[in-house]
Structure 1
Amino acid sequence: MKNRLALSAIFIAFAVFLFWFVSIRQSLLFIVGIGLGAVLAGARFGFTTGWRNLIEKRDASGVFAQLLLLAIAAAFSMPLLASFPTELNAALGPPSISLLVGALVFGGAMQIADGCGSGTLYKAGLGIPLNMAILPVFALGSFLGSAHLGWWLDLGHTQPIGLVDKVGLSKALGITYLGLILVGLAAWWWSKTSGVSRSIFNKTLVIGAVLIALLAVLNLIIAGQPWGVVYGFGLWAAKIAHAGNLFDPTVNAFWSQPVNATALEQSVFLDLTSITNIGILAGALWIFSRNKTGKANKLNTQQWVVGIIAGFLLGYSSRLAFGCNVGAMVSGISTGSIHGWIWVLMAFLGSLIGVRIRRYFGY
């Protein structure tokens, strides 16, 4: 109880600091981040685990919770984008070679590392050793991926496609819900192949999905952009590299872009993604202080090495794929980006490989 009260006091003080010295928006985003972290950790809402349970156990409950999250988020996000096209932005990424490769690698790496971007954050907040160790190499990989992104895009890409802009609100919602229904039917069919009768609905995950969807919509309204994770990681590493004179952002295609150059120069507290990430860590830490859920299986040296390499690949590939399960899948699909659907297909194929590698190394 004392730990929770002390943490709550610290979080309140930090929110007040942001409100007073930075902006009310950053303060509100920090609070939204705390909510996201608390729900993710409290419900153990794992995007990675949901996919792995479907693949290995034919348990579709995690995937159905994610589909519910997407359906709710889209129901709010797309009308908001249609009503406020200049104030709000969709999570658009260009269909490209980098997207195909990045999503495939990310899908495999997240199964080995047992966490995507948000999963790594909240599990680090829960005190799980592997995810705590992965967080800095994830950031390094994300930075290097962003630094190399120009080369990858030169291999071939098209302009981003946003359904709301291309076909209008009604058709965008219709296409999105049709896609979600088809994925749901496929997951339901796959779950039936096990021969074991399981419910496709898990009460805890369903509640988590609803809360995460609403918090993601709040993030869109407050920030003016959809919820993301990996940009913040890459920015943290880029700031360290820049401060140490290890790279010149002015000659880099990604970091010389005005918005990224500004983010690199200004305080991290002004970055929209970073402040939400800090909130997620805080929310998960609050859950850990209450439940002490940070226990994990002891890993051998080989498992540690493989896990750390997977963490680095998570960061690198997520930048090539323009997001992770949050930035590409949740935010991409719910705001009508075609790249989100491409990401899901390739990442699931990668997960099919990743679960086998995970099993081989005995995780």
Structure 2
Amino acid sequence: MNRCLISAAMAVFFFFLAWAVSLRQALLFLVGIGLGGVLAGARFGFTTGWRLLIENRDASGVMAQLFLLGLAAAVCMPLLAAFPGELGAALGPPSYSLLIGAFVFGLAMQVADGCGSGTLYKAGLGIPLNMGILPIFALGSFLGSAQLEQWLQLGSIAPVGLVARFGLLEAFGITLLGLIALGWAALRWSDRIAPWFNKKLFIGAMLLAVLAALNLIIAGQPWGIVYGFGLWGAKAATALGVFDPTANAFWSEPVNVRTLSQSVFLDVTSITNIGILAGALWIAAKRKVGAAEPRSLTGTQWVVGIAAGFLLGYSSRLAFGCNIGAMVSGISTGSLHGWIWVPMAFMGSLIGVRVRRRFNF
């Protein structure tokens, strides 16, 4: 596809948002384009980084992710402390649903070869499996949100925000110590002969941290992925007459009722998701003619991959986010649930890489 045509289409959509929706949404679309461009251009894969550490003892991807978390926290935590009324953290309640959801998500993302952001940018790159998974991810996210109340009844406590609970310096100190501990563990796990510093990934991490902070400033909330997917599914189910949001605990909450009743272009998560797709598509247009195409999958691989995509959507709602909403935004804005999500998702990934190998993905 011609890059000029893609750029023109993005410009038209930007001006449409600025004119017909709001300048804020137009700016968030630009942020989304930047996120998609960086993710696709640097091939900044959260899933791949974990898999390389597990299978190849290569810590470079994980170390870049930890750098992203630390830099984002250094910017976002002071903003939250300075503007507590205007900006919100990515808080999720510690719960059994979080434990189960994070574990299943970590497993499924290795099989599907993508988390929330990975599925988006790889779909934008035109990778067939991720393009097929995207609508199934949305379906799973919607069903997970619709059943979230039942899962929370298993047991949960109120969300814990480190900045609000302990103050800025203490919260950032706790976060920094936690990231240093994870980095030490990753290096101990890895083959320490292999280089842990990847320049392209660290530059990508720096740019993603800046864009995540811009998202927080413009939207008033941290960068997220899966809420937009669930909203798309809920809108489709409501339009088809197969779902009554007023009878559902999650979708009958005032904020969700308002979002469901409005245009999808007014939802901040949906707009950045669309931007990520557009940014990745723009990067894909740069591919040289004759570049290697993804290998074709067998019928069994398609079935397993699509099933994993559904589990990604469902489990991410139970876990209050994916690698972005729970890990990046959760940890960088001081949510305790992000620190619970990471080890549970990593344990799931330990099994997921074996499932992936079993089906020869």
Fold shared per TM-score above 0.5? yes
Report the CA distance between 1:297 and its aligned residue. 1.8
Residue correspondence of structure 1 range 15-26 to structure 2 within 5 A:
15-26=14-25
CA distance in 2, matches of 1:24, 1:42: 27
Are 1:300 and 2:305 counterparts?
Answer: no
Segments of structure 2 that go 5 or more residues without pairing to the other structure are none
For residues 268 and 32 of structure 2, what CA distance do their matches in structure 1 show?
Answer: 11
Q: Which of 222, 227, 233 in structure 2 is aligned with 1:231?
A: 227
Does the aligned pair in 2 maintain the 1:288–1:294 contact within 8 Å?
A: no
**Residue of structure 2 equivalent to 1:268:** 264
CA contact (8 A) 1:125 1:285 kept: yes
* 1:97-108 alignment runs, 5 A limit: 97-108=96-107
1:323: which partner in 2? Answer: 321
- Within the candidate set 337, 353, 356, 1:355 is matched to 353
Q: Which runs of 5+ in 1 are unaligned?
A: none
What's the RMSD between the two structures over aligned residues? 0.9
Separation in 1, partners of 2:74, 2:6: 35
- How much has 1:291 moved relative to structure 2? 1.7
Hey, what does 2:237 align to over in structure 1? 241
The aligned amino acid for 1:181 is: I
How far apart, in 2, do the equivalents of 1:226 and 1:294 lie? 36
CA distance in 1, matches of 2:75, 2:293: 37
Query: Counterparts in 2 of 1:145-164, with a 5 A limit?
Result: 145-164=144-163
SS of aligned partner of 1:132 = helix
Is it true that 1:41 corresponds to 2:49 in the alignment? no
Find the partner of 1:257 among 233, 247, 253: 253
Q: Following the alignment from structure 1 to structure 2, what is the Cα–Cα distance between the partners of residues 231 and 295?
A: 31
Does the 8 Å CA contact 1:127/1:294 hold for their aligned counterparts?
Answer: no
CA distance in 1, matches of 2:351, 2:221: 33
Match of 2:332 in 1: 334
Partner residue in 1 for 2:112: 113
1:345 aligns with 2:343: yes
Shift of 1:294: 7.9
Query: How far apart in 1 are the matches of 2:276 and 2:292?
Result: 15
What is the CA–CA distance in structure 2 between the aligned matches of 1:117 and 1:335, rounded to whole Å?
19
Structure 2 CA distance, aligned partners of 1:42 and 1:296? 17
After superposition, the C-alpha distances for 1:144-170 in whole angstroms (9 at most, x for unaligned) are 000000000000000000000000000
Cα distance per residue 1:99-140 (max 9 Å; x no partner): 000000000000000000000000000000000000000000
2:181 aligned counterpart, secondary structure:
helix
Q: Distance in 2 between matches of 1:273 and 1:295?
A: 30
Which residue pairs with 1:96 in the alignment?
95
Task: Give the corresponding residue for 1:55.
Answer: 54
- Using the TM superposition, give the Cα deviation of residue 295 of structure 1 relative to its aligned residue in structure 2, in angstroms: 2.3
Counterparts in 2 of 1:104-143, with a 5 A limit? 104-143=103-142
Q: 2:158 & 2:300 partners in 1: Cα distance?
A: 42
Letter of the structure 1 residue corresponding to residue 149 of structure 2: G
**In structure 2, what is the Cα distance between the partners aligned to 1:70 and 1:158?**
25
Q: Percent identity?
A: 72
Give the match for residue 290 of structure 1.
286
CA contact (8 A) 1:99 1:322 kept: yes
1:182 aligned partner: 181
CA distance in 1, matches of 2:343, 2:333: 17
For the residue of structure 2 that corresponds to 1:353, the secondary structure is helix
Distance in 2, matches of 1:190 and 1:297, equals: 31
CA distances 1:7-54 after superposition (whole Å, capped 9, x unpaired): 111101100010011000000000000000000000000000000000
Matched, 1:220 2:216: yes
**Per the alignment, in what secondary structure is the counterpart of residue 123 of structure 1?**
helix
The residue identity in structure 2 corresponding to 1:82 is A
Displacement after TM superposition at 1:257 (Å): 0.3
